[in-house]
Structure 1
Amino acid sequence: MDSTRHQLPQKKIIRIDELKDMGYSFYRIKKLIEENILKKLTRKSYENLIYEGDESDFYYVNAYVPRGVICLISSAIYWQLTTERSTAIDVAIPRSDRIYTMPEWPQIQLYFYSNMRYKTGIVTIHEDSNQFSIYDPEKTVIDILQYRERLGIEVAKEVLVQYLAKKDRNLNRLYRYAKELGNSKILRTYLEVLL
């Protein structure tokens, strides 16, 4: 299928407002679904079945969890801070958010963060026309230390060791996040053990 024939944006997940802005009527969108060009994911998002670019499960997060931010193990894998493998995408959302539709695949594991923890350290990654929000490496380390009991002490240690070995690490930012989010003591304890 030629995506230029349909003039769809060259991206995996397309929001309804993007289609409407391009002049697509509900009738035409319905036709594209019948022709297996679009697949409805939620009330506001569609999967572009003729997309030919790079694929990532992270692209689906925006469709199901609009304010979701990739976090914890999923973020650590992305930044190459762990050898762990995840069965679900870890996604942080504000405590006040409610999510009503979740996909069977990819699996999404939600974490409800306080406002301060949620807002700190978000970066937006752009890949072609696709994008997703993820926590930067420093915030990922601090969150994993916060959730070390749930994720495993060894995982927390590995993530911190891998982070400290990185040439582009930013220790000032790491300490600032730890202080702002009340994790200074645990960070200090881990650093004393490792160094």
Structure 2
Amino acid sequence: MMRVDDLPPTFTTDQARALGVHPRELYAWRDDEAVLELSRGVFRRADAPPASLPDVLAVSLRAPRAIVCCVSAAAIHAITDELPSAVQIAVPRSGHSPAIDFPPTTVLRFADAGFELGLSSVEAAPGESVRVYDAARTVVDLIRLRHRFGESVAYAALQRYLSGPQSRPAQLLKYADALGAFGPVRAALDVAVSR
């Protein structure tokens, strides 16, 4: 018989079923608070170490091909003070767009050609990583989508990125060129470095 501690720290209903857990048993564990339901069909063992990004972890298990982006990624990389009201994820334009009610999630559709450009990962819980755009790609996305997220958010993220130890202005321009945003990123970079 499968025990709760035989499961990974965070898991889906499908993963539990593949390991031989009957749904009735899974929901009994939830009712007994041996597991916590992070999102529909995503659970975390109550004895697991705390997750630093539980909402991001839950969304990544619901949409494993998605990549955390924009303000959510900027918050992860500490290049914004904004607190996103929803986890922002990117999916390929040609792919399936997940419908996730909880945690609140905003889905953005990005072109397939540059979809994985700047892909990195971050540990959302001990030993559990999620896909996220790196800081340079995040800055470029915020600038090219400044009409959606606000110019102040985009330019503040650029300033923080440039003042950080991992700053690579050439990487910003490389990503901007590949994503069709070279002009706006170059102009913002020129203003930022002239201050």
Tell me the TM-score range normalised by the shorter chain: 0.7 to 0.9
TM-score (norm 1): 0.83
- Equivalent pairs: percent with the same residue? 21
Identify which of 19, 22, 46 aligns with 2:42.
46
What SS is found at the alignment partner of 1:81?
Answer: coil
- Cα 1:16–1:59 shift into 2, 3 Å: same
Q: Report the AA paired with residue 79 of structure 1.
A: H
Q: Is the 8 A contact 1:68 1:92 kept in 2?
A: yes
For the Cα contact (< 8 Å) 2:88–2:107, is it kept in 1?
yes
3-state DSSP of counterpart to 1:119? coil
SS of the residue corresponding to residue 83 of structure 2 reads: coil
TM-score, normalised to structure 2, is 0.83
- Is the Cα contact below 8 Å between 1:10 and 1:129 reproduced in 2? no
Deviates more, 1:114-123 or 1:48-57: 48-57
Q: 1:188 aligns with which of 167, 179, 186?
A: 186
Letter in structure 1 aligned against 2:105 = I
Shift of 1:116: 2.4
Deviation at 1:172, TM superposition (A): 2.9
Q: Residues 121 and 132 of structure 2 are in contact (CA less than 8 Å); yes or no, is this contact kept in structure 1?
A: yes
Match for residue 110 of structure 1 among 102, 107, 112: 107
1:89 is matched with 87
Contact 1:41–1:63 (CA under 8 A) maintained in structure 2? no
Q: Call closer, same or farther: CA 1:103–1:165 in 2, change over 3 Å.
A: same
Residue 155 (structure 1) shift: 1.2
Mark the runs of 5 or more structure 1 residues left unpaired by the alignment. Answer: none
Q: Which residue of 2 aligns with 1:150?
A: 148
Partner of 1:137: 135
Aligned pairs for 1:166-185 (under 5 A) are: 166-185=164-183
Give the Å deviation of 1:79: 0.7
Aligned length in residues? 188
Q: CA RMSD in A?
A: 2.5
Q: Which residue of the partner structure matches residue 26 of structure 2?
A: 29
Partners of 1:178 and 1:99 in 2: CA distance: 25
Q: Is the 8 A contact 2:143 2:184 kept in 1?
A: yes
Once residues 21 and 187 of structure 1 are traced to their aligned partners in structure 2, the CA distance between those partners, rounded to angstroms, is 47
The one-character-per-residue Cα deviations of 1:19-73 (angstroms, maximum 9, x if unpaired) are 345443455435434544344844xx43125143122221111233221211111
**Residue by residue, what CA displacement relative to the aligned partner does 1:115-145 show, whole Å, maximum 9, x if unpaired?**
1232211112234232211100010011001
